[in-house]
C-alpha cells in the first residue's frame, strides 16, 4: 500500500475524532486563558490584559481587590438561597403541573416557558418597574435580587423536573402501591428517588444561572454589588487577576462535582458486578 493511500485511510479513520477535538479546543480555549491568567502577575502594567509574569500571589490573596470578597460572598449567598427556594417551589409546581388536572393547566404549562424565552433585559426592567411602582424603589437590594433570581430559576427547575416526571412510568408507583406501600411510602421510596436526579440537575442549573446573572441583577440590585457586577465594574479600570482565580475555582468545583458523580456511579456499578 502506498504511503498516500495509508495516509488517506488514517485520516478517514480519525476525521471525526479530529474534528471533535477541534471543537473541544474551541470551547476550552477561553477557559484555558482564564486558568492561565489566574497565575499572571500584572503589576508592571495594569491596563494590558496580557500574561506578564508567573505568580502564586493571586491564588494566595484572592480577595485582595477592594470589594471583591463581599461581592463573591453575596453572589454565593444569593445563589444558594435562590437555588433552594426555586428548587423547592419549582419541584412542587412540576408535580402539580404534571400530576393534577385543573382548569388552566395547559396554559400554565405554556406560560412556564415565557421567562426562559423572553430577553433578560425585558424581564429585568419589568421587574424593576414593578418594584418601583409598589414602592420598593428605595429598598432595592438583597431581597429584590433574590426575588428576581428565584423568578428566572423557577421555569428552568419546573421544566427540568417535569421532564423527569413525564419519563417516569406510572406503573412503578402502582406497583409500589400494589406491594403494600401507602401513598407516603410510595412517594419517598419510589417517586422521589427516581425524580431526584432531575431535581439535583435543576438545582445545579439554578445555582449557575443565579451566580452569573448580570442583566436582571444589575437592574434590581440597588446599592448591592454581586460578583458579575463587580467584574463588570472592574473591567472599566482593568480587571484584577483575582477574578480569574474565582473563575478557575468555580470551573474546578464544577468539574469536581461531575467527576465525583461519575466515580460514585462507576464504583456502584463495580460493586454490583462483583
Partner 1 sequence: MSQLHESTTTDRPASGSRDLRLSGLTKEYAAFTAVKSLDLVMPQGSFFALLGPSGCGKTTTLRMVAGLETPTSGAIHLGDTEITYAKPYKRPVNTVFQNYALFPHLNISKNVAFGLERRGVKNVGQQVADMLELVELTSQAHKKPAQMSGGQQQRVALARALINQPEVLLLDEPLGALDLKLRRGMQLELKRIQTEVGLTFVHVTHDQEEAMTMADTIAVMNQGVIEQMGAPNDLYENPKTTFVANFLGQSNLIEAEIQGREGGQVKVRVQGALASIPTERAHSESGKGWLGIRPEKVLIAEAGHPIDAPGDVITGGFITDVSFVGVSTQYMVKMPWGQELMVFEQNTGARRMLPVGTKVDVSWRPEYAFLLDASQDAKAGIEED
- Contacts to partner 1 by CB under 8 A: 169, 171-172, 174-182, 185, 189-190, 193-194, 271-272, 274
144 or 186: CB nearest partner 1: 186
Query: How far apart are CB 178 and partner 1 at their closest, in Å?
Result: 5
In this structure, the number of other CB atoms found within 10 A of the CB of residue 269 comes to: 10
134 or 169: CB nearest partner 1: 169
Which residues sit opposite 41 in a β-bridge? 53
60 or 184: CB nearest partner 1: 184
190 or 199: CB nearest partner 1: 190
DSSP-H helix ranges across 170-241: 170-178, 183-186, 192-211, 215-220, 227-237
Residue 245, all three cell numbers = 482565580
Which DSSP symbol is given to 189? I
Q: Which of 138, 134, 147, 16 is nearest to 89 (CA)?
A: 147
181 or 204: CB nearest partner 1: 181
The beta-strand segments (E) located in 4-142 are: 40-41, 53-54
Query: How far apart are CB 92 and partner 1 at their closest, in Å?
Result: 22
> What distance in Å separates the CA atoms of residue 68 and residue 109, rounded to the nearest whole number?
40
Residue with cell 440597588: 222
Query: How far apart are CB 164 and partner 1 at their closest, in Å?
Result: 13
133 or 169: CB nearest partner 1: 169
Buried/exposed code over 174-196 (b: 16+ C-beta within 10 A; e: otherwise): eebeeeebeeeebbeebbeebbe
Query: How far apart are CB 199 and partner 1 at their closest, in Å?
Result: 14
> What distance in Å separates the CA atoms of residue 68 and residue 219, rounded to the nearest whole number?
19
Query: How far apart are CB 271 and partner 1 at their closest, in Å?
Result: 8
> What distance in Å separates the CA atoms of residue 127 and residue 213, rounded to the nearest whole number?
15
118 or 174: CB nearest partner 1: 174
Query: How far apart are CB 167 and partner 1 at their closest, in Å?
Result: 11
Nearest-5° angle of CA 243, CA 248, CA 254? 130
Query: How far apart are CB 179 and partner 1 at their closest, in Å?
Result: 4
> What distance in Å separates the CA atoms of residue 50 and residue 196, rounded to the nearest whole number?
44
Nearest-5° angle of CA 93, CA 99, CA 104? 70
Amino acid at each position: 500500500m502506498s504511503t498516500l493511500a495509508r495516509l488517506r485511510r488514517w485520516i478517514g479513520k480519525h476525521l471525526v475524532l479530529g474534528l471533535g477535538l477541534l471543537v473541544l479546543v474551541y470551547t476550552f480555549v477561553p477557559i484555558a486563558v482564564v486558568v492561565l491568567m489566574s497565575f499572571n502577575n500584572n503589576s508592571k502594567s495594569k491596563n494590558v490584559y496580557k500574561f506578564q509574569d508567573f505568580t502564586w500571589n493571586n491564588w494566595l490573596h484572592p480577595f485582595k481587590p477592594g470589594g471583591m470578597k463581599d461581592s463573591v460572598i453575596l453572589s454565593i449567598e444569593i445563589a444558594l438561597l435562590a437555588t433552594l427556594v426555586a428548587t423547592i417551589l419549582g419541584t412542587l409546581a412540576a408535580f402539580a403541573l404534571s400530576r393534577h388536572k385543573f382548569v388552566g393547566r395547559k396554559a400554565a404549562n405554556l406560560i412556564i416557558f415565557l421567562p426562559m424565552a423572553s430577553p433578560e433585559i425585558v424581564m429585568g426592567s419589568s421587574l424593576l418597574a414593578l418594584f418601583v411602582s409598589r414602592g420598593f424603589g428605595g429598598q432595592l437590594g438583597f431581597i429584590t435580587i433574590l426575588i428576581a433570581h428565584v423568578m428566572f430559576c423557577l421555569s428552568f427547575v419546573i421544566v427540568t423536573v417535569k421532564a423527569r416526571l413525564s419519563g417516569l412510568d406510572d406503573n412503578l408507583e402502582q406497583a409500589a402501591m400494589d406491594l403494600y406501600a401507602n401513598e407516603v411510602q410510595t412517594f419517598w421510596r419510589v417517586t422521589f428517588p427516581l425524580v431526584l436526579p432531575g431535581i439535583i440537575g435543576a438545582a445545579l442549573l439554578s445555582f449557575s444561572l443565579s451566580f452569573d446573572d448580570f442583566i436582571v441583577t444589575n437592574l434590581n440590585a440597588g446599592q448591592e454589588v454581586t460578583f458579575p457586577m463587580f467584574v463588570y465594574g472592574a473591567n472599566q479600570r482593568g480587571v484584577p487577576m483575582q477574578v480569574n482565580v474565582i473563575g478557575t475555582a468555580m470551573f474546578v468545583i464544577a468539574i469536581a462535582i461531575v467527576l465525583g458523580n461519575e466515580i460514585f456511579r462507576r464504583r456502584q456499578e463495580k460493586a454490583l458486578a462483583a
